Structure 1
């Protein structure tokens, strides 16, 4: 199914492929990070450049992209502060 990303709502609108029948678009408000992890309410995620990375995947993302292995040993609050200081902003999905 083709879909259109809408950055204003961080969701997508999917249009079914029906040639000769009227259709209604399906609106999805699910949000996934660059690793495919679903980000749900109250989850912490990071925006680093164009990337969106879930808290559970941030250490792997930094290790692969930046050769930075320091966050593996940190507590969550330390990871959030460290990433915001060095790489990008942290958000909580509402």
Structure 2
């Protein structure tokens, strides 16, 4: 039977000439397998849209638990955005 070893933590260094050891797997936020799944680079457009919708729902729940009238605040924000976009359209024809 093959001998199993516990994983060993290796601290990456920024020193010139430093190389990661052989058979070393990087599991930080920048790695493809262990990184942030919400980046969208390895997902379909539908999966990314689903993740974004989850984010929207989470944000709305947070707003609803913070203010008395979340709908009014959201509608006011949409009006500001609409007015800003309308002003840009007028300015740039």
The TM-score normalised by the length of structure 1 is 0.30
Higher relative CO (Cα under 8 Å, sequence separation at least 6) belongs to 1
Q: Highest Rg: 1 or 2?
A: 2
Task: Choose between structure 1 and 2: higher strand proportion.
Answer: 1
TM-score normalised according to structure 2 size: 0.30
